[in-house]
């Protein structure tokens, strides 16, 4: 493995070249694996790591600014070069912004190239070395070489075709059309488009032919339909050039709604049909921009268009900017009427996420989306305050206030929601987030204690102790009290024990289940106390016993073996081929037994379980 110092990057002139230790730590926290993982999928994260280790990041450039920002720009070379940028801004609340010229990023996703550059920036900020693996570098070089070969062959083919006589090309195309049905359909659509380019009525008929209504399409048929439907794109592009903007807008709307109707009756798991529909929506936006500001009545037309769509594939903010103020205000007034009508309905049991909420969720979502596009944030807050019936309603207002940095108001609303909906975990989580982020340490501790009282567990107990340390409160009284609560709960569960099945064949346990307290001790690495607590007749979850055994050092293997044996004895009766879990336990036990005992024990297993051939094969 070759290592390159992470700080071996070029630095552009900027307003600042250094950052405080606290600022650097805040940046590193924003680039932590869990924060990056929230932005994308695990497979994209892994590909980003592979890119980082392949040497594909070229000419990284680090930039600091006087405004407290840090950025890195680079070219990442794969099948083709992509320009990538990652920037961190803010001090306590760090925001991550990124861009990339690859298709995945341009569709709005956090791509593998952005992951790779974010990891590269993290290495630079932390002073870590970036390791480039020889095998990964060779694989990357092979990928670049293959891409260059394909590009060269494509260029050579184009040059060859340009040199052929037109008659020869016609004959070859006709031959291919006879052999391949999809080529014939494409050429016929090209012919129809060319002939109808000056006739709006003919173009409308052609769109209907290219986008026929079908019964339900499974994913295979949906993909085939999408490939055929893509032929409507050059038709609309031609209309944009040859037709008046208003007519081109009408044709694009026709195509968009036909595709939306088919989307509602198709399995578009691969997203191809949605991609074609989104591209038609982009052409609709182009036509709207060319047509210029619309009259107020267009707001009604746009509302009807969105109501008929299964999914919104036209960026609303861009549509608002293109349609003009009169149409946008008419559309907004319709949304306001719809939202206030839905919010006024008596729905004491409703959930704003439910499909049975009388259309409130969609009405609110669209109205707020429109207000944000218009930049009317005060009306956004007024609309959210209009309907505060559920915890989710309050959360929406808290989130909006927080985005607007009206922190005190956000805390007030979150506190009110917590009083009204003490069982709503989302409300509690948001209030804790605000408290712990903004230094309300005593209040955060009180909420943590209430959560433990409601749900006694090791996880909640540890969170209470952490909050107590942050609030500079004595932790030992809390520890003793919570420990006692967990112990009493264990005894109560044992006292109220009943057989799982009605015929009652299970025997009553001799001791309580101490899993929560054992998990607590393991988290604090209190191994001596954990060993005492786990001693029979007390019981605990098998993964906890196994974890305790595994962390014991070699000089304590004699104490680890009984713990692992308890796990094996409990797991083996229900184990089935290929016996992976129980064989893993066998190997762990065998590693901790001295040689004479090890052989005797394994021989005993072979004799006892001789009928389980796959288990016997896996024994060490």
Count the neighbouring beta carbons within 10 Å of the beta carbon of residue 519: 22
| pLDDT surpasses 80 at 72 | yes
What average pLDDT does this structure show over 144-150? 86
C-alpha–C-alpha distance, residues 229 and 382, integer Å: 43
Token pair for 420: 């009204």
What is the pLDDT, as a whole number, of residue 505? 62
**333 vs 351, residue with greater confidence:** 333
Locus of tokens 């680079």: 74
Task: Tell me the three state secondary structure of residue 433.
Answer: helix
What average pLDDT does this structure show over 592-612? 92
What is the pLDDT, as a whole number, of residue 410? 95
What average pLDDT does this structure show over 269-273? 89
What average pLDDT does this structure show over 145-171? 90
Count the neighbouring beta carbons within 10 Å of the beta carbon of residue 410: 22
Share of the chain above pLDDT 90, in %: 60
| pLDDT surpasses 50 at 276 | yes
Q: Compute the mean pLDDT over every residue in the chain, rounded to the nearest whole number.
A: 88
Distances (CA, A) of 151 to 57, 101, 146: 21, 19, 9
| pLDDT surpasses 90 at 100 | yes
What average pLDDT does this structure show over 190-214? 80
User: Could you tell me which of 239, 256, 230 has the C-alpha nearest to residue 201?
Assistant: 239
- SS3 sequence, 257-319? HHHHHHHCCECCCCCHHHHHHHHHHHHHHHHHHHHCCCCCHHHHHHHHHHHHCCCCCCCHHHH
Query: What number of H helices and E strands is found in the chain?
Result: 31, 7
| pLDDT surpasses 70 at 614 | yes
Q: Work out the pLDDT band at 243, boundaries 50, 70, 90.
A: confident
What is the pLDDT, as a whole number, of residue 26? 84
What is the pLDDT, as a whole number, of residue 346? 66
Q: Work out the pLDDT band at 550, boundaries 50, 70, 90.
A: very high
Name 100's bridge partners. Answer: 84
What is the pLDDT, as a whole number, of residue 352? 42
What is the pLDDT, as a whole number, of residue 350? 46
Residue 512 phi, psi dihedral angles, 5° rounding: -75, 160
Token pair for 142: 């092979």
pTM of the predicted model, to two decimals?
0.60
Exposed/middle/buried for 81, CB within 10 Å: 0-12, 13-18, 19+? Answer: middle
Q: Where are the alpha helices (DSSP H) in 292-440?
A: 297-308, 316-323, 325-344, 360-374, 377-386, 391-403, 407-420, 425-438
Token pair for 46: 């892994």
Give the DSSP letter of residue 509. Answer: P
Burial 444-470 (b: 16+ CB within 10 A, else e): bbebbbebbeeebbbebbbbbbebbee
Q: Work out the pLDDT band at 501, boundaries 50, 70, 90.
A: low
What average pLDDT does this structure show over 186-196? 71
What is the pLDDT, as a whole number, of residue 356? 44
**189 vs 153, residue with greater confidence:** 153
Residue 506 phi, psi dihedral angles, 5° rounding: -70, 140
What is the pLDDT, as a whole number, of residue 349? 44
Q: Yes or no: say if 452 and 464 are a contact pair by the CB < 8 Å rule.
A: yes
What is the pLDDT, as a whole number, of residue 9? 59
| pLDDT surpasses 50 at 15 | no
Q: What are the pLDDT digits (tens) for 508-543?
A: 788 899 999 999 999 999 999 999 999 999 999 999
Q: Work out the pLDDT band at 43, boundaries 50, 70, 90.
A: confident
Q: What are the pLDDT digits (tens) for 421-466?
A: 998 999 999 999 999 999 999 999 999 999 999 999 999 999 999 9
**133 vs 454, residue with greater confidence:** 454
What is the pLDDT, as a whole number, of residue 586? 93
């Amino acid at each position: 493995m070759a290592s390159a110092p992470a700080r071996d990057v070029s630095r552009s002139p900027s307003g600042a070249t250094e950052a405080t230790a606290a600022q650097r730590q805040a940046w590193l926290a924003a680039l932590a694996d869990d924060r990056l993982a929230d932005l994308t999928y695990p497979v994209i994260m892994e590909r980003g790591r592979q890119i980082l280790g392949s040497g594909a990041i070229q000419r990284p450039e680090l930039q600091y600014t006087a405004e407290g920002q840090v950025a890195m720009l680079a070219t990442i070379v794969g099948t083709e070069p992509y320009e990538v940028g990652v920037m961190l801004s803010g001090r306590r609340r760090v925001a991550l912004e990124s861009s990339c010229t690859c298709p995945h990023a341009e569709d709005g996703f956090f791509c593998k190239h952005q992951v790779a550059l974010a990891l590269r920036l993290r290495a630079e900020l932390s002073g870590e070395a970036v390791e480039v693996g020889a095998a990964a570098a060779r694989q990357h070089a092979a990928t670049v070489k293959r891409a260059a070969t394909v590009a060269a062959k494509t260029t050579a083919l184009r040059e060859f075709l340009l040199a052929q006589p037109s008659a020869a090309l016609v004959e070859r195309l006709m031959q291919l059309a006879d052999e391949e049905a999809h080529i014939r359909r494409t050429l016929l659509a090209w012919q129809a488009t060319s002939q109808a380019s000056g006739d709006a009525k003919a173009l409308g008929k052609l769109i209907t032919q290219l986008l026929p209504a079908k019964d339900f399409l499974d994913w295979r048929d949906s993909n085939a339909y999408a490939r055929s439907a893509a032929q409507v794109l050059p038709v609309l592009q031609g209309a944009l050039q040859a037709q008046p903007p208003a007519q081109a807008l009408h044709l694009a709307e026709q195509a968009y709604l036909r595709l939306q109707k088919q989307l509602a009756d198709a399995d578009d798991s691969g997203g191809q049909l949605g991609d074609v529909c989104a591209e038609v929506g982009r052409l609709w936006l182009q036509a709207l921009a060319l047509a210029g500001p619309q009259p107020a009545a267009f707001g009604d037309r746009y509302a009807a268009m969105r109501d008929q769509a299964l999914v919104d594939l036209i960026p609303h903010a861009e549509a608002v900017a293109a349609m003009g103020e009169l149409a946008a205000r008419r559309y907004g007034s319709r949304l306001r009427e719809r939202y206030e009508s839905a919010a006024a309905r008596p729905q004491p049991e409703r959930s704003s996420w439910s499909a049975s909420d009388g259309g409130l969720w969609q009405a609110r979502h669209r109205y707020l989306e429109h207000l944000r596009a218009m930049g009317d944030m005060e009306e956004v807050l007024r609309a959210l305050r209009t309907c505060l019936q559920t915890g989710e309603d309050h959360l929406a207002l808290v989130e909006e206030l927080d985005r607007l940095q009206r922190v005190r108001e956000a805390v007030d609303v979150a506190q009110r929601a917590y009083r009204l909906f003490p069982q709503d975990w989302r409300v509690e989580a948001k209030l804790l987030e605000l408290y712990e982020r903004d230094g309300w340490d005593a209040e955060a501790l009180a909420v943590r204690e209430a959560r433990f009282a409601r749900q006694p567990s090791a996880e909640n107990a540890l969170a209470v102790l952490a909050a107590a340390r942050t609030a500079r409160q004595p932790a030992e009284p809390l520890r003793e009290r919570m420990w006692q609560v967990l112990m009493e709960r264990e005894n109560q569960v044992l006292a109220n024990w009943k057989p799982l099945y009605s015929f009652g064949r299970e025997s009553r346990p001799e001791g309580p289940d101490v899993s929560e307290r054992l998990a607590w001790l393991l988290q604090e690495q209190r191994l001596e106390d954990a060993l005492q607590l786990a001693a029979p007749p007390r019981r605990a979850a098998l993964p906890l016993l196994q974890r305790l055994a595994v962390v014991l050092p070699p000089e304590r293997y004699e104490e680890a073996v009984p713990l692992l044996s308890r796990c094996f004895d409990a797991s083996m009766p229900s184990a089935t081929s290929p016996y992976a879990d129980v064989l893993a336990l066998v190997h762990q036990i065998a590693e901790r037994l001295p040689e004479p005992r090890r052989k005797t024990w394994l021989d005993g297993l072979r004799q006892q379980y001789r009928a389980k051939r796959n288990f016997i094969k896996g024994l060490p």
